[in-house]
Structure 1
Amino acid sequence: MIKVVLSLCLVACALGASIPNVQEEEGYIVGGKNTSISEVPYLVAMLNNGNFFCGGSVVAPNLVVTAAHCVYEQNHKSLAFRAGSSKANVGGVVVKAKKVHENGRLATTLQSVYVPVVDRETCDLSLKPVVGLTPRMFCAGLEGKDSCQGDSGGPLVDDGKLAGVVSFGMGCARRGKPGVYTNLANPEVAAFVNKYLKA
């Protein structure tokens, strides 16, 4: 399952998946704003037995990129994707999967937020002693602006390209604790994925 997710991530990078930018604005994720699916048409809600639990990004007609922990040990028969809706629980089109603010209430309307990338040294220090930063990770966010629970698997877009996948954080939008993203441009990830794409 993890191999499939990683290979989909590389496909997005290798093809330079063009994704429209979301305009930087202040407002409501944590510290973001309401947005519309028309601004982020590639975004899908992942459903498990009909309930929203993770996000994902459409990178090709039949491919969705998400975080590995969103699909690891999941029963693929219970997974589906809702596309084309600004709401996690209504509207759009639901497709069944074939393979596969902190402590606050989850938003029911699609949210977006501008999060600056944090330099590697600062990021690594913010994660210790819990976990060490690897080249397959990068940090983004600042106090009051971050991804949070329910955002896992969602995209971080830079200059119209899928650059990262929401992975984890030490709380949400805390001072000195940026969010952690999978680095889709990492050469080790690319080599690993290419190995399986050629198989």
Structure 2
Amino acid sequence: MLKLVAFCLVFIPIVVIAIGKPNYAESTGSRIIGGKEASITEYPYQAAVEINEKFKCGGSIIARRWILTDATCLWQGYASPVKVRIGTSFLLEGGQVINVQGFARHSYYNSYTGDNDIALLLLEEPIPLSESAQIVRLPDNGNATLDGRMGTLTAWGATTKLGSMSSVLRAVDVPVVNLDVCKETYNDSNWRVSDRMLCAGPWEGGKGMGDGDGGGPFVVDSVLVGIASWSSRDRAEPEHPGVYTDVGAFRDWITENTGI
């Protein structure tokens, strides 16, 4: 109860907040490249965040009233109602739509570097769990060693570099890349990979995130380990894996704000 009260005291309403647009490696616009169509029953934790009746970003069901997504999705704040659609494989169709009561964005989120790119959405009513709507398991606190492990990214992002959004949920399996190697990869760019991030993608490129995938879940062995955050401008290019928020690094923050 104390944690819930503390959360309410710092909880911010969904209003317009004038802050700078992120200028790092084009986040929350990632597209799944090299993936395949998927059914929501295979990935029932997948959620879609909608603003002004349009798709904004992906998210993950972590409790019946909580959705985990990226802070970039809400970087401006919105005067219009924010809603979450769950239980459907289709973009802006089917499933159940639930209003968002409010959100908590990480207080140290940096829109210019993409660091601490994590946010929580509190729903007005609990999600009715079913075959197509399930809670995903969260990792333990701390950075897990996942180098070389295969994980799955799911989203409705475009399937080619210049393509439109996919109308059907898609999934792609990509390996986790050693963090030090990933840091070195982006060392000559304007963006930096921090210890609170996780990288994944084949070294030869051709698979990974792109426009529309931001906020989407990256799952390894049924555990939500990453939130799609940003990628190189050329998307899924060789030697430039996608960059995710490391959920384990924010496990305490999630618990402090939700009690989960």
TM-score by length of 2: 0.61
Which among 86, 104, 107 is matched to residue 166 of structure 2? Answer: 107
Q: Which amino acid aligns with 2:190?
A: V
Which among 151, 175, 196 is matched to residue 238 of structure 2? Answer: 175
1:71 corresponds in structure 2 to 74
Write out per-residue CA displacement over residues 9-48 of structure 1, whole angstroms, 9 at most, x where no aligned residue.
xxxxxxxxxxxxxxxxxxx921110000010111011111
Structure 1: gaps of 5 or more residues: 5-27
Q: Which amino acid aligns with 2:219?
A: V
Q: What is the Cα deviation at residue 192 of structure 1?
A: 4.5
Cα distance in 2, alignment partners of residues 174 and 119 from structure 1? 17
2:91 corresponds in structure 1 to 88
Which among 211, 217, 220 is matched to residue 155 of structure 1? Answer: 217
Matches within 5 A, 1:24-173: 29-75=32-78, 77-100=80-103, 101-128=160-187, 129-142=189-202, 143-171=205-233, 172-173=235-236
Cα distance in 1, alignment partners of residues 38 and 212 from structure 2? 16
The structure with the largest alpha-carbon Rg is 2
Relative to structure 1, is the Cα distance of residues 197 and 91 closer, same or farther in structure 2, using a 3 angstrom cutoff? closer
Whose helix proportion is higher, 1 or 2? 1
Cα distance in 2, alignment partners of residues 196 and 111 from structure 1? 30
Relative to structure 1, is the Cα distance of residues 39 and 76 closer, same or farther in structure 2, using a 3 angstrom cutoff? farther
Relative to structure 1, is the Cα distance of residues 76 and 141 closer, same or farther in structure 2, using a 3 angstrom cutoff? farther
Write out per-residue CA displacement over residues 120-146 of structure 1, whole angstroms, 9 at most, x where no aligned residue.
122112222322221100110121110
Cα distance in 1, alignment partners of residues 58 and 238 from structure 2? 25
TM-score by length of 1: 0.79
Q: What is the Cα deviation at residue 191 of structure 1?
A: 4.5
Cα distance in 2, alignment partners of residues 166 and 30 from structure 1? 13
Relative to structure 1, is the Cα distance of residues 173 and 160 closer, same or farther in structure 2, using a 3 angstrom cutoff? same
Cα distance in 2, alignment partners of residues 149 and 134 from structure 1? 22
Query: Superposition RMSD on alpha carbons, in Å?
Result: 1.9
Cα distance in 2, alignment partners of residues 196 and 48 from structure 1? 23
Q: What is the Cα deviation at residue 149 of structure 1?
A: 1.1
Structure 2: gaps of 5 or more residues: 1-6, 8-30, 104-159
Q: What is the Cα deviation at residue 76 of structure 1?
A: 6.1
Relative to structure 1, is the Cα distance of residues 131 and 49 closer, same or farther in structure 2, using a 3 angstrom cutoff? same
Contact 1:157–1:164 (8 Å) recurs in 2: yes
Contact 1:76–1:97 (8 Å) recurs in 2: no
Identity of aligned residues (%): 34
Q: What is the Cα deviation at residue 196 of structure 1?
A: 4.9
